[in-house]
Structure 1
Amino acid sequence: MKIGIVGLGLIGGSLGLDLRSQGHQIIGISRQDVTCQTALKQGIADRASTKFTLLQDVEIVIVCTPIAAIASTVKQIIPHLHPDTIITDVGSVKYPIVETCSQLWSNFIGGHPMAGTAQSGIDAAQANLFEGAAYVFTPTEKTKFEDLERLKAIALDLNAIPYICDAQIHDRAVSWISHLPVMVSASLIKACLQETPETLELAQNLASSGFRDTSRVGGGNPELGVMMAKYNRAELLRSLAQYRDNLDQVINLIEGEKWQDLEQVLDINGEARPKFLN
C-alpha cells in the first residue's frame, strides 16, 4: 500500500521504518525540510516533503503529530486526498479526537499504538518499536468494515496486536495504565525534591532499579504529559481521585499499625499485577 505519514518524530519515523520494510511505499510529511532529508537518508520514507500535495494518491494517512495538532492537521490535508483515503492518528487520547475528526472526514478511524520511549524526534526512530505492543483502533458507526480491516492488517505488519474498542472506553482504560502513572511518577520525583539537601543527595546516590522503574514515565516529555491531562481531563481526574482514596487507605493502615491488613492489600496487589503485563 501507499501510506502517508504526517509527522516524522519517534512514532512516525518508527512506523515508516517498519512499514517500509514490509514493502509498503511510505510518503513522509514534516514541517521541516531537514527532517524530510533525514527520513530519506535513514530509510524511513520513499519520498518526503513539507508539502501536503504529496499525499494526493495515498491509500492511508497516519497523522503522527502531537495531540493538539491532530484535528488542524486533518483539516489541512483533506483538500489533497482522494475521497476513499483512510485517515488515522496515533494520539494517546481518542474520544475528543474521534468526535472532531470523524465530522471532518467520514473515513477517519482513531488509532493508538501503545509503544514509545523517553526520547523524541526522528533521530529516536527505531525498528520493531511496535512488536508485541497493543495497537488500538476506535471506529465509529460510520466506519466501513473493509477500512478497519486494512488498518488491522497494518498493525499485524508491525507485529503489533490490534484491539478494537469504543473511544470513551479507551480513554478510561489508558487513564489508569498510562496517564495516571505519569502523574503519580512525576509527583514522586517532585516529593523527593522537597527533602533536605543532605537526604536528597544520599537518596540520589542510593537510587536503583526500583526508583528507576517507578520514576521513568514521570521524567519523560512534559509536553506529552500536559496533553494527556488536557485532552483526557475527566477520566484522569476520576482515576487520580480513586488512586488518592486508595493511598489514604494505605496511610490509615500504617498509622493504625494494622500490619495484617496491609499485608493483605499487598498480597492482593501481587496476585493482580501479572494480569496487567502483556
Structure 2
Amino acid sequence: MKIGIVGLGLIGGSLAIAFREKGLEVLGVSRKATTCETALAKGIVTRASTEMGLLQTADVVFLCAPIKAIVPTAQALIPHLKPTTILTDVASVKGEIVQAIAPLWPNFVGGHPMAGTAEQGIDAAIPGLFIDAPYVVTPTPETPPDAVETLKGLIALLQSRFYCCAPQIHDQAVAWISHLPVYVSASLIAACGSETNSEILQMAQAIASSGFRDTSRVGGGNPELGLMMAQGNRQALLNSLAGYRAQLDQAIALIEQEDWEAIANLLATTQQQRPSFL
C-alpha cells in the first residue's frame, strides 16, 4: 500500500515515520523544497516533492495542512488522484471540512488523530506519537464502508485507539475537551495578567507553580491554532463556553452565599467525574 501525505510537519511527519516503520511506501508533499529534502535525508518518506502529481499512485492520502488550508489543498489535490484513492484529513474540526470535501470525493473520510506536542515543523516529527492516542474518524451515511475499514486498519498500525462518530458529534465533543480548555486557560492567563497592583502581580508570577502551569499550558500554546479552533468550530465552542460560564456563575453565587455544603458537594462531584474523562 502506498501512503501519501500532504504536509510534512509534526503530524504529517510523525505519520510518515510510523508508516515507514511498518514497511509501507510513503510519498510526501510539502510546499517547501527544503522540507522535502529534510524528510528524505531523515528517511521519513520514500519519495518527496513539492508537486501534487507525486501522489497519483497513492492508495490513501492524508491531508496534514492547517485547518483553513485543508479544503483548498483537497481541491488542488483531487485532479491528481486515481479514482480508488481514499482521502482523509487530520484537522481538529470536522463538520465544515466533511461538508466541503465529501461531495467532491466520495472516498473521503474525515479524521482526527488526537496527539501532538507544542513543537511544529518537520524537525518536530517523532516516532510513536500516536501510540495509545484517540484517533476519531467521521464518516457520513454516504461514505463507503470499505474506505472506513481501510483507514481503521491503518489506525491499528499506528497503535491508536479507534473511534467513529458523526462529524457533528465529534465537533461538540472536541469543543468540550479540547477547544474550551484553550479559551478557559487563555482567560485564566489574561485574568491574572490584568492584576493592576504590580507588587501582587510580581509575587503571583514568582510563586506560580504546578497548579498554574497545568491549567495555563494550553492557553499559552500556538495562537494560530487557537484562532482556527474558534473559526472552524464556532458554534460548538460557543455552546461549551456558555455552559462553562453557567458553572462559573453557579460557583460565584454559592461562594457569595457562603453555601459551603453545596461547594463541598460540587467539588466531590467533580472529583468523581474527572477520571471518566482521562
TM-score, structure 2 normalization? 0.98
Describe the SS at the equivalent of 1:103: coil
Which stretches of structure 1, 4 residues or more, deviate above 3 A after TM superposition? none
Residue 206 of structure 1: how far off its partner (Å): 1.1
Q: Counterpart in 2 of 1:229?
A: 230
Q: Counterpart in 2 of 1:189?
A: 189
Alpha-carbon distance in structure 2 between the residues aligned to 1:111 and 1:230:
18
The 5 Å alignment of 1:3-14 reads: 3-14=3-14
Describe the SS at the equivalent of 1:184: helix
Amino acid across the alignment from 1:119: E
Describe the SS at the equivalent of 1:104: coil
Amino acid across the alignment from 2:276: K
Alpha-carbon distance in structure 1 between the residues aligned to 2:24 and 2:213:
38
1:165 aligns with 2:155: no
Please list the CA deviations of residues 14-68 of structure 1 after superposition, one character each: whole Å capped at 9, or x if unmatched: 1111111011111110000011111112221111110001001000000000110
Please list the CA deviations of residues 205-261 of structure 1 after superposition, one character each: whole Å capped at 9, or x if unmatched: 211111111011111111111111001100100110010010010011111111111
1:53 aligns with 2:53: yes
Describe the SS at the equivalent of 1:5: strand
How much is the aligned-residue C-alpha RMSD, in angstroms?
0.8
Q: Structure 1 stretch 61-70 or stretch 115-124: which is displaced more? A: 115-124
2:86–2:107 Cα contact (<8 Å) kept: yes
The 5 Å alignment of 1:120-199 reads: 120-195=120-195, 196-199=197-200
Amino acid across the alignment from 2:115: A
Q: Counterpart in 2 of 1:262?
A: 263
Describe the SS at the equivalent of 2:65: coil
Q: Counterpart in 1 of 2:212?
A: 211
Describe the SS at the equivalent of 1:61: strand
The 5 Å alignment of 1:83-94 reads: 83-94=83-94
Alpha-carbon distance in structure 2 between the residues aligned to 1:3 and 1:96:
25
Unaligned runs of 5+ in 2: none
Please list the CA deviations of residues 100-128 of structure 1 after superposition, one character each: whole Å capped at 9, or x if unmatched: 00011111100000111111111111111
2:4–2:27 Cα contact (<8 Å) kept: yes
Amino acid across the alignment from 2:205: Q
Describe the SS at the equivalent of 2:142: coil
1:113 aligns with 2:122: no
Alpha-carbon distance in structure 1 between the residues aligned to 2:125 and 2:205:
30
Alpha-carbon distance in structure 2 between the residues aligned to 1:43 and 1:206:
45
Q: Counterpart in 1 of 2:36?
A: 36
Alpha-carbon distance in structure 1 between the residues aligned to 2:265 and 2:119:
38
Amino acid across the alignment from 1:201: Q
Alpha-carbon distance in structure 2 between the residues aligned to 1:268 and 1:139:
35
TM-score, structure 1 normalization? 0.98
Amino acid across the alignment from 1:274: P
Amino acid across the alignment from 2:271: G
Describe the SS at the equivalent of 2:126: coil
In the alignment of these two chains, the number of paired residues is 277
Please list the CA deviations of residues 113-160 of structure 1 after superposition, one character each: whole Å capped at 9, or x if unmatched: 011111111111111111111100011122111111110111111110
